[in-house]
Amino acid sequence: MTGDHLPTAYCCSIVPPHILERLAHSADAEIADAARQALRDVAEGMLHRRAHAAPESRPGSKPRLAPGTLESGPQRLICDAQGGTTLPGTQVRGEGEPDTGDVAVAEAYDGLGDTWQLFADAFERNSLDGRGLPLRATVHYGENYDNAFWDGTQMVFGDGDGKIFGRFTASLDVIGHELAHGVTEHTAGLMYQGQPGALNESMSDVFGSMVKQRRLGQDAADADWLIGAELLIGELAGQALRSMKAPGTAYDSPLLGKDPQPGHMDDYVETDDDHGGVHINSGIPNRAFYLLATALGGASWEAPGRIWYAVLTGPGISADCDFVTFAGLTVDEAIGQYGVQSPEVAAVKSAWAQVGVLGGAESDGEGPVPVVDLPADPGEPVPAPVPDDSGEPSPEWPGVPEEGGVGHHERGPDDMEHEGEVPAGAVVEVTRSGGVAGLTARRSVALDELPAPQQQQWRSVLGNRTLQTLDAQAAASAARQHPDTYCYGVSCPTPPTEVSIREQDLPDDLKALLEETLREA
């Protein structure tokens, strides 16, 4: 891999961090090493590449396809990393070229094509950006690499450790999931935090499921609604990363723990971890889509998919869209497409009511009634990022956390009194959350128990208020968030420290310190 450390719009790994963290403590050294390598690559920013992509014009306009555009088909390019980590690797198959005999190359090539074909046939969309963006992938990345990710420019696939995870090209819905993050980036630009972030993750699961179901010729009733079922092997075969049908049931084993996803707002998880639980609470909109698709019957990419796609790419959605707002937009879209008294409208309302997002399912044409209290003055919606003069996405989001938001620490008299003091025996708690599975790693440790170099680094970081400075800078710049990357939390009583900082806002040396502290556990 090159030595560049450039910002990227998206760096999305398919294996949730809570799964990787569990495996990193496995008694099997090979499994533990593979999981640690996957965590290290994301946490140290080694996967970052710049995404040269311009969102669609707002509000809501979709690119008009020139005659014959879709007939020209996708533009695919597959490379082989040959067990290394240099991207993109050696080109082994281009568009229209014959099979190489390498099953991973064939699966990647076909998966990119199936994803392109779904968006073209079902939604008249030409690739991720609507303008024919070439689809690139690298296979055989790393040794025993337990991950697949979208870095904003291409897909990257590991071969797995051969014990828990097999080839990552084997799961078509995973390929569709990661590529769908690119569609979201080019359209709604949903913030990767809290409910907007959970919607971002859910959108990828929804479209990834459509890709798989379409390839298999399945109706909604025939599908298993599992994400990543083909990845797990050995004693874990038959389990998956997520279940859209029954969130919280995808896996339950000593190796992975238990699936933490809720399927109803009553069980919504309030957390600062995982960017506000984006990989956990996505189970709620996931189940709503499943309920809609099975209620209407037929193919999920027909009426259900058309409604979801129209909202994702339409003028009503904003980057800070929450569950209630998104649900209301889907009801409005169903009314617009099918009529106020239609079965489609009734099914949409019922689906959201069953997961506790909307109250009632009356077809009165007045839209849904939210069951969640909203702020008296929620302020202006946050728009999706717009292109600058270069045609690239704006590097900044308007309107992310202000004072009192996640990670903000209000300084008081006690802070002033103890600022700069790092007493002997000071205890620091470090957390890391996020990643595709939303697993959380946590360690509390007295600084005196750490190796001398780490002690010195921590005393400097805490005494100089480095973390608070980074936290304030991140809030001021409102930097874009990257799906499936990590969020780090640091807590210390003295000097008073309570911050939550996104991976992309941390310098490499500080990320390395946080990772080393966690790895010592």
- Predicted pLDDT of residue 101: 97
Q: Do residues 171 and 228 lie in contact, with contact meaning Cβ atoms separated by under 8 Å?
A: yes
Q: Which of 279, 409, 498, 515 is catalytic?
A: 279
Identify the DSSP state of 488. E
Catalytic residue among 178, 230, 333, 515: 178
> Would you state the pLDDT for residue 325?
98
For 68, counting Cβ atoms within 10 Å of its Cβ (0-12 exposed, 13-18 middle, 19+ buried), the class is exposed
Residue reference for tokens 């502290």: 517
Q: What is the pLDDT of residue 317?
A: 97
Helix (H) or strand (E) segment spanning residue 303: helix 303-313
Would you say 107 and 85 are in contact if contact means Cβ atoms under 8 Å apart? no
- The pLDDT, as a whole number, for residue 388 is 37
Give the single-character DSSP code of 160: -
Return left, alpha or beta for 130; rule: phi > 0 is left, psi -120 to 50 is alpha, else beta.
Answer: left
| Amino acid occupying residue 2 | T
| Kind and range of the H or E run holding 198 | helix 194-216
Tens digits of per-residue pLDDT, 207-240?
A: 999 999 999 999 999 999 999 999 999 999 999 9
CB 313 within 8 A of CB 328: no
CA angle 234, 25, 255 (to 5 degrees): 30
Contact 439, 17 (CB under 8 A): yes
What is the domain partition of the chain in residue ranges?
Answer: 1-51+76-189, 413-519
| Regions in the chain scoring below 50 on pLDDT | 1-10, 44-64, 66-68, 361-379, 386-419, 478-479
The single-letter code of the amino acid at 478 is A
Name the DSSP letter for residue 451.
-
Catalytic residue check, 279: yes
User: What pLDDT sits at residue 376?
Assistant: 36
178 belongs to the catalytic site: yes
The rounded distance, in Å, linking the Cα atoms of 65 and 159 is 37
For position 501, what pLDDT does the model report? 81
Identify the CATH assignment for 1-51+76-189 out of 3.40.50.720, 3.50.40.10, 3.40.430.10, 3.10.170.10. Answer: 3.10.170.10
